[in-house]
Amino acid sequence: MPQPLAGLVVLDLTHVLAGPFASMTLADLGARVIKVERPGTGDDTRTFPPFKSGKSAYFAAINHGKASIALDLKAEDDRATFERLVARADIILENYRPGVMEKLGYGWDDLSSRFPRLIYGAVSGFGHTGPDAKRPAYDMVVQARGGVMSITGEAGREPVRVGASIGDIVAGMYLAQGVLAALYDRERTGRGRKIDISMLDSQLAILEHAVAITSVTGKPPGPTGARHPSIAPFETFHASDGLFVIAAGNDKLFEKLCLALMLPIADDPRFATNAARCENARLLKRLIEAVTLENTRSYWIQKLTAAGIPNAPIQNIDQVMHDPQILARNMVVDVLDRNGRKAFVAAGNPIKISGVEDRSSRGPAPDLDGNRGEILRWLDGE
Amino acid sequence: MPQPLAGLVVLDLTHVLAGPFASMTLADLGARVIKVERPGTGDDTRTFPPFKSGKSAYFAAINHGKASIALDLKAEDDRATFERLVARADIILENYRPGVMEKLGYGWDDLSSRFPRLIYGAVSGFGHTGPDAKRPAYDMVVQARGGVMSITGEAGREPVRVGASIGDIVAGMYLAQGVLAALYDRERTGRGRKIDISMLDSQLAILEHAVAITSVTGKPPGPTGARHPSIAPFETFHASDGLFVIAAGNDKLFEKLCLALMLPIADDPRFATNAARCENARLLKRLIEAVTLENTRSYWIQKLTAAGIPNAPIQNIDQVMHDPQILARNMVVDVLDRNGRKAFVAAGNPIKISGVEDRSSRGPAPDLDGNRGEILRWLDGE
C-alpha cells in the first residue's frame, strides 16, 4: 500500500528547525519535499555542528530525503522558476517573518487567488497576528517567554532549557497537523487553506497541568526537579547505585507498589488517594527511598516490572539509540549518501501505519542546489 | 466555513493524557468526541488536583467539549451499545496495553473486517510490537528511558524532568498526525488504517541534535543547563536584576548583537562562525555578561528588540497567560459549565486556519456518563 501522502508535492521555503521538522514528517508520510534555499549559504543549519566529512549531521538529521534548489526570490529568472514550482505544488511551507512573503508578491492572498488548491503553511515565532507578529524568535526565546523554562529545573536554582528544542519542534508538529487537516478538507472542498502557527502559542498549548494550577490557585507553579506536580509517586528515586524512575499513576498501582516494596502504607490516609499522596509527596519519597536504597537499580527495575509497576532507567542518548525496543520499532534509521552508502543515522518515523512500509533508511540530505537539474527537468514534464 | 473535521465522530477510549490530548486536538479541529469511560471511576485524571467546585481542573483542561458515556466492555448490554457506537464512528482511539482490545474482541483485525472505513488510533507506552510492547508506562517512564532527562538540567547535578508532560503530549500529537494522515488517505482509498504510536518512539523522534551528536562523536551529550549545545550565543544571560535570554542563531544576528552591546568581537576568529562560537561558548558568555550585567533586563530586552535580535524574558505561567501576544492570538480560552458560565480556562487551539472561526470558549468537560441520554438518542436516529 502506498504511503498516505504519496504523490503530493511540498515546496519548502523553511529553514532551521520548526519548518524543516514539519516537512520531514510530511516526507516520512510519503510526500515529495523540494527545499527552496537561499543561494550561496542555504539553510543556516548547514553550518551547525557536529560535522562528518564536512557535512552537518544536524542538517542531515532533519533534511534527509528532501531535494534542494537554490532560488533568489528577488531575481526575475528564479522567480519564474519558483512560480512554476508553486503551480505544481500541493503545499507551500514558509517560516519567514510575517510580511516577507507579501513583499515578494507571494503572500497567501496572492498565491491563493492564483492557485486556489494550494495549502499554505506558515510557522513563525509569534504568528501572523498580534502586537509582536514581526518580532524574530528562536527556540530559546519561546521556551523562556512561553513558560516551560519556569517549570523545568530544580526549585531555588536557575531555570534550565528543555534539552530537546521543543520550542521549534512542537510548533513544527502543529504545522504538520494543520497541513494534514487542510489536506483532508481540500479533498471535500477543493480549496486550500492557510495555516498560521506561532511557536509561542505552541508552547502554551503543551502546558496542561501548569495552566490548570495557575488558573485555579492563582499561583504559577515553579520547577519541581524530577517530580510531577499533580501525580505521586511519579519521580526519580535513589537505589543503592543511582537513580531510577517509579511512576505509580493511580491507587491500584500504588497498592501494588507498596506490596512490592513491603511498605504497609497503602491504607494510610496520608497516602490513600492521589491528592493525599501529592500533599505528602516529600514524606512519601523518603519512605520509599528508605526501601529502595537497600538494593540496586537493576534489582528494583526487575522487581517492579514483574509486579506490573511502571518504572524506568534514566538512559543517555547512546543507550536510547541501542535500546532493544527502539531498535525493534525501527526508530533508528540510516541516512544514505548519493552513492547509497550509510552516511548518518537519524530518528525513524514514530507514526506506524498498518499496511505501509516502515522504511529503515532515508535518502540523502541534499547538497545546496544539488537537485536543480532534476527539478527543472521535472518541471519541463520529463 | 466549517471546521475541517466537522461531521466526523471520534470514539475515544483513552484516558490520562496522551490519548485525550490527541482527541482534544481533533475536537478543536471540529470533530465530535465521545469519551467511553470505565463505569464508577472513569478517567484517572478526574482525581488529579487542582480542583474547583469538586472538579479537576486538570481533567477539564484536556477534556473540554467532549461527551461521556460509561460502558463496561465486558457486559453484554454495554457491548451492544459500544458496537452501535463503533458503527457510527469514523475514528476509534485507545490507549490500553497491547492485547487488551483483542481480548475484548475489539482488536484492529476484528473491527477493521466489520467496519472497513474505521480508523483505529492506538497510543501505548512502547507500541504494539517489540519485546516491551506489553509493559506499562507513564510520562516519567519515557522521559527517563527515552533520553530527554539525560540532556535536561545542569551538568553535574541530578537529571530533571521536562516540566510539561512531553512524554505523553508528543505521543498524543503524533497520534493526531497519524489519524489526520489516515483521514486523508481514506478519502481516496475508502479504507481506514491502524495507527500505532509508542510514547518511547515519540521521545526519540524529538531529540534532533542529540541524535546527531551521539551518532557522529560516539559521545552522548549531557545536560547543558540553559544553553543550546549546537548554537551560540543561545542561552540565558545575567542582567543586573536577573536572567533573560539572547538567541543569536546566525552570523548576521551575532554581528548585530556585538554592535548593540558595543562588544567588538564579531571578527575575532574565536567567534566568527557558529562552530567557533560553540567551541568558545563559555568565554563568549562571560564577555557578553560583562556588558549585560551593567543594565537591567528590561533595558536589554528593549534595546535588543529594537536592534532585531531575538531575546526574551523568562516568564512564569501566570505571565504567559496574560502575555498580550498570547491574548491577541486567542490562546487562553474559557471552558464553560453546563449552564454556559465560565468554569475553567484552558489553552486555546494553536492551529489557526484561514476562514475557520477560532472559538474563544469551549463546551464543558463532561461528567462521568453525563451524556448517556443524548448519545443513546443519537444512536436511535433522533
Instruction: From A361, A370, A360, select the one nearest A335 (Cα to Cα).
Output: A361
Neighboring chain B residues of A344 at a CB cutoff of 8 Å: 212, 215-216
CA distance A18 to chain B (A): 11
A382 pLDDT higher than 70 = no
Average pLDDT of the segment spanning A87-102: 96
* Domains of chain A, CATH where assigned: 9-206+327-379 (3.40.50.10540), 234-314 (3.30.1540.10)
pLDDT single digits (tens) A184-209: 999 999 999 999 999 999 999 999 88
Instruction: From B194, B181, B38, B176, select the one nearest B127 (Cα to Cα).
Output: B194
Does A145 sit within 8 Å of B61, measured CB to CB? no
Instruction: From A198, A376, A282, A247, select the one nearest B352 (Cα to Cα).
Output: A198
CB B376 within 8 A of CB B68: no
Q: Which residue in B204, B216, B309 is closest to A347 by CB distance? A: B204
Concerning whether B228 is annotated as a catalytic residue, the answer is: yes
Q: If residue B282 lies in a helix (H) or strand (E), which one and from where to where?
A: helix B281-292
The residue whose grid cell reads 536543480 is A372
Task: Give me the catalytic one of A15, A64, A128, A228.
Answer: A228
Phi, psi (rounded to 5 degrees) for B303 = -65, -45
CB B42 within 8 A of CB B371: no
Does A61 sit within 8 Å of B208, measured CB to CB? yes
pLDDT single digits (tens) A275-287: 899 999 999 999 9
The share of chain B scoring above pLDDT 90, in percent, equals 95
Task: Check residue A49 and give its pLDDT.
Answer: 83
Identity (one letter) of the amino acid at A128? H
Q: Output the average pLDDT for chain A.
A: 96
Does B184 sit within 8 Å of A180, measured CB to CB? yes
A292 pLDDT higher than 70 = yes
Best probe of the A interface among B245, B289, B301, by most A CBs < 10 A, is B245
> What residues are paired with B92 via a beta bridge?
B11, B120
CA distance B264 to B261: 9
Instruction: From B296, B369, B24, select the one nearest A177 (Cα to Cα).
Output: B24
Residue A11 in grid coordinates = 515546496
> What residues are paired with B236 via a beta bridge?
B245
Distance of CA A158 to the CA centre of its chain: 25
pLDDT single digits (tens) B64-100: 999 999 999 999 999 999 999 999 999 999 999 999 9
CA distance B100 to B134: 10
CB A21 within 8 A of CB A169: yes
Q: Which residue in B50, B163, B200 is closest to A212 by CB distance? A: B50
Burial of B266 (0-12, 13-18, 19+ CB in 10 A): middle
Average pLDDT of the segment spanning A1-12: 95
Task: Check residue B229 and give its pLDDT.
Answer: 79
Task: Give me the catalytic one of B15, B64, B228, B322.
Answer: B228
CA distance B354 to B351: 10
Residue B168 in grid coordinates = 505523553
Average pLDDT of the segment spanning A25-30: 98
CA atoms within 13 A on the CB side of A60: 30
Alpha helices by DSSP H, listed for A38-107, are: 57-63, 76-88, 100-103
Q: Which residue ranges in chain B fall short of pLDDT 50?
A: none
CA distance A96 to A124: 7
Task: Check residue A193 and give its pLDDT.
Answer: 98
Residue B330 in grid coordinates = 486567542
Q: What is the ipTM of this complex?
A: 0.96
Does A312 sit within 8 Å of B159, measured CB to CB? no
Task: Check residue B49 and give its pLDDT.
Answer: 83
User: Strand A332-336 vs strand A361-362: parallel, antiparallel, or unpaired?
Assistant: parallel
Burial of A161 (0-12, 13-18, 19+ CB in 10 A): buried
Instruction: From B175, B162, B130, B206, select the one nearest B17 (Cα to Cα).
Output: B175
Residue A139 in grid coordinates = 527556540
Distances (CA, A) of A278 to A93, A228, A232, A266, A271: 44, 9, 5, 14, 8
Task: Check residue B382 and give its pLDDT.
Answer: 66
